[in-house]
Amino acid sequence: MNSYAIRVIYKYEMLRAWETLAQSFASPVISTALYFVVFGSAIGSRIQHIEGVPYGLFIVPGLMMLALLTQSIANASFGIFFPRFTGTIYELLSAPVSFVEILIGYVGAAASKSFIIGLIILATAGFFVPLQIAHPVWMLTFLLLTCISFSLFGFIIGLWATNFEKLQLIPMLVITPLVFLGGSFYSVNMLPPAWQTVSLFNPVVYLISGFRWSFFEVADVDVGLSLAMVLGFLGLCLAVVWWMFRTGYRLKQ
């Protein structure tokens, strides 16, 4: 195991976030604050309670998920895409590192960043609503699993993308709609039955539901099912990455 390599890749990626501090950490905080003002205060004052939870509080897990997913994907995909784009990837390919080490470095850093962002958002939310977390351990578990699996997913996109447009494509066209329609700001139970069924095909529903359960013990779907979905997605991403590395996909001629 080339632990020095993992360390420098991880450090390099974290340093990149640090140098663009405003972009990395401040923007999720600001957008979260805006969501609170718009959804929590303006709309929340009319909706009041969903399944016994005040609306302002109810949206906290969804808001966190929204940021986690977009940040994990953006960080991880950019992290590996950029060296490919500039050509500095040559160094990674010529170094005595295994693909597993590359993966741990890049995905580890991206997941760490979004984990920190998740906690910052949680803290920001604490300024607007009195927080309550029923199962902190589960909450952190969901948080961590989400960060890792979506960073992996971002890494895949970063390898697959051949230009900047493609890099933005999946997050914009797939992830953002899925998160918005995945019950970030409402309970799926509030939808007409037909749409409830449709929602069940949206994997993000399971993610948000499980995460919300760890806060308030209210869920749209069974929490076990949520966990299984997250783990399943993680497994799927690992399989795809493994295949990519086996074949040298988009890395080696």
Partner 1 sequence: MTAIISISNLSKTYANGYQALKNVSLDIQSGEILALLGPNGAGKTTLISIVCGIVNATGGKVTVAGRDIVQDYRLTRSLIGLVPQELTLGAFDRVWNTLCFSRGLFGKKPDRAYLEQVLRDLSLWDKKDSMLMALSGGMKRRVLIGKALAHEPRILFLDEPTAGVDVELRKDMWALVRQLQASGVTIILTTHYIEEAEAIADRVGVINHGELLLVDDKQALMHKLGKRQLLIEIETPLAEMPAALADRPLELSADGRTLIYTYDPHRPQTGIDELLQALRDAGLTIKDVLSTKTSLEEIFVNLVQAKP
Which of 18, 26, 37, 91 is the binder for partner 1 (CB under 8 A)? 91
Give the nearer residue to partner 1 in terms of CB position, either 23 or 41. 23
Number of H helices and E strands in the chain, helices first, is 14, 2
Is 23 among the residues that bind partner 1 (CB under 8 A)?
A: no
Contacts for 240 with CB less than 8 Å, ≥ 6 apart: 156
- Report which residue type is found at 2: N
CA separation for the pair 59, 53 (Å, rounded): 10
Largest CA distance in the chain: 60
**Cβ 183 vs Cβ 208: under 8 Å:** yes
Burial class (CB in 10 A: 0-12, 13-18, 19+), 85: middle
Of 13-21, 199-207, 213-221, 231-239, the window that binds partner 1 (rule: CB under 8 A) is: 13-21
Q: In angstroms, what is the minimal distance from the CB of 16 to partner 1? A: 8
Which of 52, 87, 193, 224 is the binder for partner 1 (CB under 8 A)? 87
Q: Is 50 helix (H, G, I), strand (E, B) or coil?
A: strand
Q: Is 19 helix (H, G, I), strand (E, B) or coil?
A: helix
Which of 45, 88, 132, 163 is the binder for partner 1 (CB under 8 A)? 88
Is 16 among the residues that bind partner 1 (CB under 8 A)?
A: yes
Is 109 among the residues that bind partner 1 (CB under 8 A)?
A: no
Closest to 73 in 3D by CA, of 183, 217, 233: 233
Of 15-23, 161-169, 190-198, 232-240, the window that binds partner 1 (rule: CB under 8 A) is: 15-23
Site string for partner 1, 136-165 (x = CB under 8 A): ------------------------------
Q: In angstroms, what is the minimal distance from the CB of 30 to partner 1? A: 23
Of 79-87, 120-128, 148-156, 165-173, the window that binds partner 1 (rule: CB under 8 A) is: 79-87
Give the nearer residue to partner 1 in terms of CB position, either 46 or 252. 252
For residue 175, the tally of other CB atoms under 10 A from its CB is: 22
Q: Is 48 helix (H, G, I), strand (E, B) or coil?
A: coil
CA separation for the pair 150, 66 (Å, rounded): 11
Which of 46, 86, 193, 246 is the binder for partner 1 (CB under 8 A)? 86
Q: In angstroms, what is the minimal distance from the CB of 251 to partner 1? A: 9
Is 218 among the residues that bind partner 1 (CB under 8 A)?
A: no
The CA-based angle 163-165-167, given to 5 degrees, is 75
- Per CB under 8 A, residues contacting partner 1 are 2, 4-5, 7-9, 12, 15-16, 19, 82-83, 86-88, 90-98, 248, 252-253
